[in-house]
Amino acid sequence: MIKLEAADLAARIKAEVKAEIERGVRASLAAVRVGDDPASAVYVRNKIRACEEVGIRSEHHALPESTTTEQLLELITSLNTRDDVDGILTQLPLPAHIDETAIIEAMNPLKDVDGFHPVNAGKLAMGRPVFVPCTPAGIIELLDDRGVEIRGANACVVGRSQIVGRPMAQLLLQRDATVTICHSRTRDLPAVTRTADLLVVAIGRTGFIGRDHIKPGATVIDVGMNKVSDVDEVRRLFGDEAEKRLDVVAKRGSTLVGDVNPAEATEVAGMLTPVPGGVGLLTVAMLMKNTLKAAKLRRA
């Protein structure tokens, strides 16, 4: 089984962005976060750090949990009109009392570097993408980089979110794969996923996909990011690597695992993205690439 590690590819993508910035392209990103969710804080911090690495100017708008939809809309409108802001990202999920749809739709589509605005989603569906959501875009880059054949492959996407599942299916379809989308109401999920040469899993369920879901030799892309701290659960999920992961738990209180059971998947899959070290790194790298693209489109 081959590990589809992404650190090298992510570094190369960021290096390409940095080279263009150093040649004189000016780019800037405004990151907006509402509330005190620890995971969101980490994600935004990683994105700001990546901006520093490649030379993109960034600003971080950290708003209190009490922020209203109207107040957030006012900020988005302000960022839309500023000529010194090329890209805007609003870290999701937003607090429950904020109208997430209204916030996404208020964004200027040409500054929507996450690719969530209906205009960008519609253009992707029509095969004329401008900004593609960063995680699916990164997965395509990884598959291409590692020579995984997409054309003609039976591809299965487990999960139908607007952030990963649906755009992922669109990209695979546009690359001539035969695509099936599975979700919580799919009947006999293992029977469907076992037909896939290429299996992409994004459901937010710890180690849910096991050996019975995977076709022997399939390429498995694990988008999940879940924390595990229970010793027995760590042993069940990681098998021979459990001791290393238990050391991480001892130091940090938990370790990360995706939506795929790595111990079982390793027995069956031909290729598998690790967690961490896989898709997450590409998500940030593609955000840098999208921000650079936004800057160039606005100045074209």
pLDDT tens-digit profile of 197-227?
A: 999 999 999 999 999 999 999 999 999 999 9
Quote the pLDDT of residue 75.
98
Contact present, 172 and 165 (Cβ < 8 Å): no
Answer for the pair 286, 114: CB distance below 8 angstroms, yes or no. no
Mean pLDDT (whole number) for 177-190: 97
Q: Does 45 map to a domain?
A: yes
**Residue 47 annotated among the catalytic residues of the structure:** yes
Does 277 lie in the same domain as 151?
yes
Regarding whether 260 and 172 lie in a shared domain, the answer is: yes
Q: Which of 14, 47, 289, 293 is catalytic?
A: 47
Domain that holds residue 168: 134-281
| 254-292 tens-digit pLDDT | 999 999 999 999 999 999 999 999 999 999 999 999 999
Label residue 39 by pLDDT band (50, 70, 90): confident
The reply to whether 236 and 145 lie within a common domain is yes
Number of other CB atoms surrounding residue 240 within 10 Å = 8
**142 and 271 share a domain?**
yes
The pLDDT of residue 133 is: 98
Mean model confidence pLDDT for the chain = 97
Q: Give the residue carrying structure tokens 């390429």.
A: 219
Helix, strand, coil percentages in the chain from 3-state DSSP, rounded to 5: 50, 15, 35
> Are both 223 and 89 inside the same structural domain?
no
Cα–Cα dist 238/230, whole Å: 12
State residue 299's pLDDT score: 85
pLDDT recorded at residue 178: 98
Residue 290 is assigned to a structural domain of this protein: no
| pLDDT higher than 90, residue 177 | yes
Is 212 in the active site?
A: no
Whether residue 129 lies inside any domain: the answer is: no
69 falls within a domain: yes
**Judgement on whether residues 190 and 266 belong to the same structural domain of the protein:** yes
Beta bridge partners of 198: 155, 219
Which one of 86, 112, 114, 222 is the catalytic residue?
114
> Which residue is catalytic, options 14, 86, 91, 259?
91
Q: Assess whether 85 and 46 both reside in one domain.
A: yes
In the structure, what pLDDT confidence band is assigned to residue 300 with cuts at 50, 70 and 90?
confident
Question: Is 16 part of any domain?
Answer: no
Task: Identify each DSSP E strand in 70-196 by its residue range.
Answer: 87-90, 154-158, 178-182
- Are 229 and 101 found together in one domain? no
Rounded Cα distance between 44 and 89, Å, is 9
Tell whether the model's pLDDT for residue 46 goes beyond 80. yes
Looking at the predicted structure, is the pLDDT value of residue 30 above 80? Answer: yes
Same domain, 152 and 274: yes
pLDDT more than 70, % of the chain: 100
Asked if 154 and 274 sit in the same domain, the reply is: yes
pLDDT higher than threshold 90 for residue 49: yes
The one-letter code for the residue type at 219 is T
CATH code where residue 204 lies: 3.40.50.720
Residues 105 and 139 in one domain: no
Residue 294 in domain:
no
Residue 289 within any structural domain of the chain: no
Residue 114 annotated as catalytic: yes
What H or E segment, with its residue span, contains residue 66?
A: none
User: What distance in Å separates the CA atoms of residue 98 and residue 30, rounded to the nearest whole number?
Assistant: 19
Among candidate residues 77, 110, 143, the one where a domain is terminated? 110
User: Is 124 part of any domain?
Assistant: no
The label of the residue with tokens 């991480």 reads: 248
Among residues 65, 94, 110, the one where a domain terminates is 110
**How distant is the alpha carbon of residue 225 from its chain centre?**
10
Residues 243 and 157 in one domain: yes
Query: What is the secondary structure of 240-261 as a DSSP string?
Result: GGHHHHHHHHHHHS-EEE-SB-
- Sorted by sequence, the CB contacts under 8 Å of residue 74 that are 6+ apart come out as none
- Note the pTM of the prediction, 2 decimals: 0.96
Q: Give the list of residues 6+ apart from residue 82 with CB closer than 8 angstroms, or none.
A: none
Look at residue 116 in the predicted model and tell me its pLDDT: 97
CATH of the domain at 76: 3.40.50.10860
Total number of domains constituting the chain: 2
How far apart, in whole angstroms, are the C-alpha atoms of residue 125 and residue 130?
A: 11
